[in-house]
Structure 1
Amino acid sequence: MKVGLYFGSFNPIHIGHMVIANHLAEYSDLDQVWFVVTPHNPFKKKRSLLDNYQRLEMVYRATKEYTKLKPCDIEFNLPQPNYTINTLVHLEEKYPDNEFSLIMGEDNLKSFHKWKNYELILENHHIYVYPRISENKIETQFHNHKKIHSIDAPIMELSSTLIRNSIKAGKNVRPMLPEFVWEYLDEMNFYK
């Protein structure tokens, strides 16, 4: 089975994440997309993150009615901070019959050369890149690379930061979130 790994803090997961993941599950050669909930990204400050299991619960609620979209907590039991190369090794050991690819935005591809063992990742895995609005140029070494696939997914300029700040300001963000996620955030009074 071909599985696309969509890494993120998903703090919270929103309709932008869902549209991109569903697009890849339906319009690429991937059989499933797994939302890999990251406990701590080495490039992000940790203090604004909800608890790991609360974010996993939101991903579970968002994906429960989609057979091709799954939550994944593989990084919860790996040493911190998490590096993608380590996660890939663990997933390959745990699911030897699956072929894993990465899903990332163009903005992440721009800094991909700074990732730990990025050459090894690229040697062994395909990368599906979805468009983002940005001014920066993609690294020349990644142009026309046989393992990097640009996906013609809808451009979703929606961020978890905007949603958190909007909730704190008392704005209605309900249309930006999957219904089950909205209900959970409202019930738990998160980000207020």
Structure 2
Amino acid sequence: MPDRIGLFGGTFDPVHNGHISIAQSFLSSSYIDELWILLTPFPPHKDQEKPTSYSDRLHLLSLAFNDMDGVIISTIENELKKPSYTYRTIQTLKQKHPGKAFYFCMGEDSLSAFSSWKNYKLILNEVELLVAERPGADHSMVDKAILDRAHFVTHQPLDISSSQVRKFVLKEKPISDLVPQSVSTYILNQNMYKSLK
């Protein structure tokens, strides 16, 4: 049984090659044995009439990571009381899996904003951070207490975003360079992202 678990959360709307690349970087590090991907329920927005369903995003994640060893897709954040907060998720996982060491995985951009997260100091008490570092990143504005709990993983980020994928689909531009083929096929067959969010 793997004892060192990375937790990588997101809305993944949709999952894209950048997510896959960062997952590979986390798994290639010496810190974790497994990466658990936590699919976050989509928060309700007044300006969003048709949010992408949880089940569709979950299916896309399953397609994207189907062939990657060491990855587990978790729906725990959909099972917990809403809204889902990272601290509560981590607490629940630690209670369910005593003896495992959890690392919370994030990109460099999330690290810069981490001090604005709800209960971020409590999160640091529970887990260490695994950060996919952008080349040339400046950590001078990041709180020392956060940096003391952070481990940096070498990563070459891909310049892809979920919003870019959605816009490409809306404009009927090819997305084959942005997402895996299986994800592209499902999105197009299900007519996803045909209205702008």
Give me the TM-score of the superposition, normalised by structure 2: 0.87
**TM superposition shift of 1:40:** 3.2
Query: Partner residue of 1:87?
Result: 89
Is 1:3 the equivalent of 2:5?
yes
Is residue 134–residue 156 contact of structure 2 (8 Å, CA) maintained in 1? no
Contact 1:40 1:82 in 2 (8 A): no
What corresponds to 2:41 in structure 1?
39
Q: Which runs of 4+ in 1 moved over 6 A?
A: 133-136
How far apart, in 2, do the equivalents of 1:190 and 1:145 lie? 39
> 1:176-187, aligned counterparts within 5 Å?
176-187=178-189
Task: Tell me, in whole angstroms, the C-alpha distance in 2 between the residues paired with 1:38 and 1:172.
Answer: 27
Q: Which moved more, 1:95-104 or 1:161-170?
A: 95-104
The aligned counterpart of 1:107 is: 109
Residue of 95, 98, 104 corresponding to 1:96: 98
Amino acid of the structure 1 residue aligned with 2:111: L
Shift of 1:118: 1.0
Instruction: Please state if 1:169 is matched with 2:171.
Output: yes
Contact 2:90 2:126 in 1 (8 A): no
Give the alignment partner of residue 72 of structure 2, picking from 70, 73, 92: 70
Shift of 1:29: 1.8
Identity of aligned residues (%): 30
Once the two structures are superposed, what CA deviation does each residue of 1:127-176 show, in whole Å capped at 9, x if it has no partner? 11123589986534237833201221112221000000111001001121
Between stretches 108-117 and 77-86, larger displacement belongs to 108-117
SS of the residue corresponding to residue 36 of structure 1 reads strand
CA RMSD, aligned part only?
2.4
The unaligned stretches of length 5 or more in structure 2 are: none
Query: Could you tell me how far 1:81 is from its partner in structure 2?
Result: 1.5
User: 1:69: how far off?
Assistant: 1.4
- Say which is worse superposed, 75-84 or 105-114, in terms of deviation: 105-114
Unaligned runs of 5+ in 1: none
The answer to whether the aligner puts 1:188 opposite 2:190 as a matched pair is: yes
Q: Which amino acid aligns with 2:105?
A: I
Separation of aligned partners in 2, 1:117 and 1:144: 13
Cα separation, 2, equivalents of 1:45 and 1:91: 31
| TM value normalised by structure 1 | 0.89
Aligned residues: 191
Matches of 1:158 and 1:75 in 2, distance apart? 25
Q: Does the 8 Å contact 1:40/1:46 carry over to 2?
A: no
